[in-house]
Amino acid sequence: MEQSPINWGRPRDDVYGHYSEAISQAPNTHSLPKKHTQQPTVTGSSVIGIKFDKGVIVAADTLASYGSLARFDNIDRLTQVGDSTIVGIGGDISDMQYVQRLLEELEIEENYDNSGDQSLHSENIFNYLSKVYYNRRSKMDPLWNAVLVGGVDSKDEPFLSHVDLLGVTFSSPALATGFGAYLALPLLRQLVPYPDSYKNVTEADARAMVEKCMKVLFYRDARSIDKYDVATITKGNVKIEKDIKCKDQNWRFAEDIRGYGRTTS
Amino acid sequence: MFRNSYDNDSVTYSPTGRLFQVEYALEAIKQGSAVVGLVSKTHAVVVALKRNAEELGSYQKKIIKVDNHLGVALAGLAPDARVLSNFLRQQAMSSQMVYKRPLAVSRAVYAIADKAQGNTQQYGRRPYGVGLLIIGHDEAGPHLYEFLPSGSALEYRGAAIGARSQAARTYLEKKFEEFPELSLEELVVEGLNALRDTLAQDKELTLKNTSIAYVGKDTPFTLLDDDKVVDWLAKLDGVSRKSNPRPTGGEEAAEGTTTEGEPAADAPETDAPADADTMDTTE
């Protein structure tokens, strides 16, 4: 290496021959930094969840959009993990499938050497997921999702928590991601305005409100569809209902609306 | 010439299918002073006999806390026990960090059992020279496991390892059917009774040489030493000698209540190393 200040960093001419200026002009094939996920491609929309006195209901529609194209209309976004937890995922579908694989591995690993002294409760699965999401965003390579974890915790209490691509976590008796946060959450909060309100909510009431929310989302969210899955988790029981249609839609008023203001006739 | 050409490393089988290095490691446990463990439906207890290398020296710790719900008692090479208990601490913290739950006792035990097994299968390594009694409480209740350097990890209702531990096992085998229903206090006293059977002729359990640890559902892992074991040793004196006379001193036990009534705290420190070998590092 040439140590003379004017030639710092260059091979010595007497050893390697005359320095070719072309070397420093050579096109840099690594001119751009490594690219990570910078935007989602195929996406799922809202996930909504609400606690009731004995458990939790989580719901998500079955659409996976490719931009504004309703590309796949039969994608399950609710995943059961263990025997008392449902993970509902919105956002990038390929990242969702990766997370679903992680959760499957987690469950296999749990059962591998487990003599039954321990089981995966909702808070364990949620805590694991929150570490995964925060770890990935800290590597500047986020998993582009918003996630609801619903179920029954180790004290047999209803559990509902949220984690997203930033690793942000929070908990509430009613939660919703995406458009649901704007459209469904105000409705859900009519049932559970305060942290303890869910103790006075029956499964039937919560279920009826979830159906109403999914209908409102179908009315007003352009990336939604009128077909959805609902999971109801109570102590020792997970019930998943698939392909529910939005019922009792009201479009009758439409025929009375004409034009965009006073008409000439 | 070698006396035995099949004991140079831990990965060579003898013609009879034995791993001598592993068996030698098991011998190291027998050099260590005794530890006794036992479980009820609600609690797990270990009691241990501590040794000092010489009169002026301190007594080597025998019980190590791992987490609020988990701890180990050792017999054998103390440094190896430190390595294993530090590893368990990391496992316990990892479980709390990633899953927000205490490490299950069975998982903890199998984790170190797998490490020990690996050392018997890879050239250039040696087996751990320590046996552990692991107590803990998890979702499934209280547990007691015995860990051996061979990689064996078995759950017990009562167990004892270390020097003269056979005497303690004999005691436990006689009484283990009562253990499930015992209170914590009764369980500790039974542990001390069993531990006392491992003592040499002229020895006594004293506040200096006795360690007690217990754990249960709403009882975090608690380690008692020195002044804190005095009350327990007092209970021992009141209950035990009558119901459990020392096998060697039939006459002595009948009339020997005067010496036994002596408060443990005032008992003269007669404890000396079990053998004169000052290089012995087993505890």
- Of the residues A81, A117, A163, the best mutation for testing chain B's interface (the one with the most B CB atoms within 10 Å of its CB) is A117
In order of A59, A187, A196, B144, the CA distances from A208 in angstroms are: 12, 11, 20, 50
**Measured between CB atoms, does B138 come within 8 Å of chain A?**
yes
Q: For all residues of chain A together, what is the average pLDDT?
A: 92
Q: Which of B101, B105, B110 sits opposite A113 (nearest CB)?
A: B110
pLDDT value of position A33: 58
pLDDT value of position A16: 83
Q: Span A63-89, mean pLDDT? A: 97
pLDDT value of position A38: 78
pLDDT category, A264, cuts 50, 70, 90? low
Task: Check pLDDT > 90 for residue B150.
Answer: yes
pLDDT value of position B131: 98
Task: Check pLDDT > 60 for residue B144.
Answer: yes
Q: How far is A155 from chain B (nearest CA, A)?
A: 11
Share of residues in chain B with pLDDT > 90 (%)? 81
Task: Check pLDDT > 60 for residue B253.
Answer: no
Task: Check pLDDT > 50 for residue B273.
Answer: no
Residue of B nearest to A106 (CA): B99
In chain B, which residues have their Cβ closer than 8 Å to the Cβ of A124? Answer: 99-101
pLDDT value of position B181: 97
Task: Check pLDDT > 70 for residue A60.
Answer: yes
pLDDT value of position B241: 44
pLDDT value of position B233: 95
Listed residue (A76, A83, A36, A35) closest to A59, CA to CA = A76
Listed residue (A27, A19, A25, A23) closest to A1, CA to CA = A19
Q: Which of A117, A120, A131 sits opposite B138 (nearest CB)?
A: A117
Question: If you write DSSP's letter for every residue of A175-210 in order, what string do you get?
Answer: EE-THHHHHTHHHHHHH--STTGGGG--HHHHHHHH
pLDDT value of position B4: 81
pLDDT value of position B257: 41
- Of the residues B99, B143, B154, the best mutation for testing chain A's interface (the one with the most A CB atoms within 10 Å of its CB) is B99
Share of residues in chain B with pLDDT > 70 (%)? 83
Residue of B nearest to A125 (CA): B99
From A7-16, A133-142, B169-178, the region with the lowest mean pLDDT: A7-16
pLDDT tens for each residue of A184-227: 999 999 999 999 999 999 999 999 999 999 999 999 999 999 99
- Of the residues A102, A105, A118, A149, the best mutation for testing chain B's interface (the one with the most B CB atoms within 10 Å of its CB) is A118
pLDDT value of position B267: 42
Q: Going by C-beta distance under 8 Å and a sequence separation of 6 or more, which residues neighbour residue A151?
A: A55, A56, A82, A84, A85, A86, A121, A122, A125, A158, A159, A233, A238
Contact state of B107 with A119 under an 8 Å Cβ cutoff: no
**Measured between CB atoms, does A115 come within 8 Å of chain B?**
yes
Contact state of B138 with A118 under an 8 Å Cβ cutoff: yes
Using DSSP's 3-state secondary structure scheme, residue A8 falls into coil
In chain A, which residues have their Cβ closer than 8 Å to the Cβ of B110? Answer: 113
pLDDT tens for each residue of A93-113: 999 999 999 999 999 999 887
To the query of whether residue A232 is one of the catalytic residues in this protein, the response is no
Q: Span B258-266, mean pLDDT? A: 41
> Does the model's pTM come out above 0.90?
no
pLDDT value of position A18: 83
Residues 69-88 of B with CB under 8 A from A: none
**Measured between CB atoms, does B99 come within 8 Å of chain A?**
yes
In chain A, which residues have their Cβ closer than 8 Å to the Cβ of B100? Answer: 123-124, 127
pLDDT tens for each residue of B197-233: 999 988 999 999 999 999 999 999 999 999 999 999 9
Residues 147-186 of A with CB under 8 A from B: 154
From A12-26, A69-83, B44-58, B74-88, the region with the lowest mean pLDDT: A12-26
Listed residue (B39, B33, B35, B45) closest to B213, CA to CA = B45
Q: What is the 3-state secondary structure (H, E, C) of B40-79?
A: CCCEEEEEEECCECCCCCCECCCEEEEECCEEEEEEEEHH
Residue of A nearest to B140 (CA): A117
Task: Check pLDDT > 80 for residue A172.
Answer: yes
Catalytic residue among A37, A62, A263, A264: A37
Overall residue count recorded for chain A in this entry: 265
Phi and psi (nearest 5°) for A88? Answer: -105, 130
